[in-house]
Chain A
Amino acid sequence: MSAASAPIVDIRHVSKSFGSLKALNNVSMSMSLGEKVVIIGPSGSGKSTLLRSINKLETVDSGTIIVDGFDINAPTTNINSLRMELGMVFQSFNLFPHKTVLENLTLAPIKLKGMSKAEADEIALKLLDKVGIKEKAHAYPAQLSGGQQQRVAIARALAMSPKIMLFDEPTSALDPEMIGEVLDVMVTLAKEGMTMAVVTHEMGFAREVADRVVFMDHGAIIEEGTPEHFFVNPEHDRTKLFLSQIL
């Protein structure tokens, strides 16, 4: 564990409601640089909302979220430049269908970082090589399989050289035979030391990669700990129940 440094993400007493539904109920959690946190829990437990509130795709009702030293809800914070440091991977890939794979990767670096096309292309091709689909660089997203699309989505997020990667159920929309190829890319990324927050149902991945597993239910964190603690010796009944259902 590399918990020695100051937290890069610090979530304090955050609450959020959708109408009468309390999605987050006074949640606090922090992450340090290089740490890999896997958030699990039944659907509707608020885990995706928590993840999405880190880059302000959801605005919280109360509490503070500090990312890399900036309070994301402070009026002085430029959320757009902060988001450049937060790569996000979605369940439904959300690739830009009107752009080629390569253009999906280079659009943001060129437009937001002022990178030259040549430089952006070079970086993009390296990343595509890394996720194993360099040969599809000039294809359109619709021509790729789900697994391939998700790997492109990961590469797209990486193209901005983020400090943190957020994964929102990255394999939930995939056919079973494609889950492995995406998890492999994520494992590689983890081994390289990327700071990662992952919402997933893939317990194997959690076991292998996580520094810390967070279990959420009904908008609150019930239990958190190392995978060893979590999978071998969970404390709470609700955790036990959830694990018994999913494993």
Chain B
Amino acid sequence: MSDTRIIDVGEGAAIPSKSDWGLFNAWTISIIGALAAILYLVIAQPNPYQRLLVYLADGVVITFQVTVMSILCACVIGLITGLGRVSRNKAINLLASTYVEIIRGIPLLVQLFYIYYALGRFLNVHDLTAAIIAMSVCYGAYMGEVFRAGITAIDKGQTEAARSLGFNTKQTMFLVILPQAWRTILPPVGNEFIALLKDTSLVSILAVSDLLRRGREFSSETFLYFETYTMVALIYLVITLILSKGVSIMEARLSHYVRR
């Protein structure tokens, strides 16, 4: 970002960057293409596509629910883990590191089964809850590492400046370090969000009626495998694209204090 093209041209007169190619960028082409494809299929072949879309609708809602809830929980877990990883308290640090090591060493699919079927023997967790817990616990560890990297990437001088003014460790972290870390953290966290969204398709193995399971139910009954998975893939693509757009809008907002 050491831009030699940073010229003070005053407000508004932005230098065109790659994302300013009007409609001809990857995101716009993909979203318009995906939506157009869905629209075309539904209008041109109402049977089965219209029926399929109606059948998949509540699955989309579930996928969305699992994604949003898991993202929220994973962010909280990730923040706590990240703070634990940079903590000077050895016990906390060790705890956070161990958690990250263990979770990163177990495939998400196995974790899902474990939380649902193994732990479910002792505490009866609802399938949706189990799915959200497993996704959050797993992605919390991944995000913890992202948070840790973001926090340690902030110049030591920022901590020193804050401490020299009289802020304690906590105030320094929450008033000075984290607000800045967000900027570096957001792009990788955004990637985790999108990976998480796609990985929610794994929860269908817990008999959670998400988008994928609805698709499997439909296809196993009608044998319309091609049609079903075309639609399922298109819907996942649309959701993912919307989420990635949301992330890049947030990124743009957070970078307002840096001259670009």
Contact = CB atoms under 8 A, between A and B. Distances in A.
In this complex, which of A81, A97, A153, A157 has the most chain B Cβ atoms within 10 angstroms of its Cβ? Answer: A97
B161 A112 contact: no
B157 A112 contact: no
Interface in A75-112: 80-81, 83-84, 86-88, 90, 92, 94-99, 107-108, 111-112
Given A97-B257, A97-B258, A92 B164 contact: no
B155 A94 contact: yes
Contact of B176 (A80, A90, A96): A96
A156 B165 contact: yes
Contacts of A156: 165
A99 B180 CA distance: 10
A47 B256 CA distance: 38
Interface residues of B, number: 21
Interface stretch (B22-30, B166-174, B228-236, B244-252): B166-174
B166 A80 contact: yes
Interface residues of A, number: 29
Contact of A94 (B158, B166, B175, B259): B158
A74 interface: no
A85 to B, nearest CB: 8
B163 A57 contact: yes
**Chain B contact residues: helix, strand, loop or mixed:** helix
B166 A98 contact: no
B175 A86 contact: no
Contacts of A143: 259
Contact of A142 (B158, B167, B168, B257): B257
Given A96-B158, A97-B180, A142-B257, A55 B171 contact: no
A160 interface: yes
Interface in B142-168: 155, 157-158, 160-168
B167 A111 contact: yes
Interface of A: 55, 57, 80-81, 83-84, 86-88, 90, 92, 94-99, 107-108, 111-112, 140-143, 153, 156-157, 160
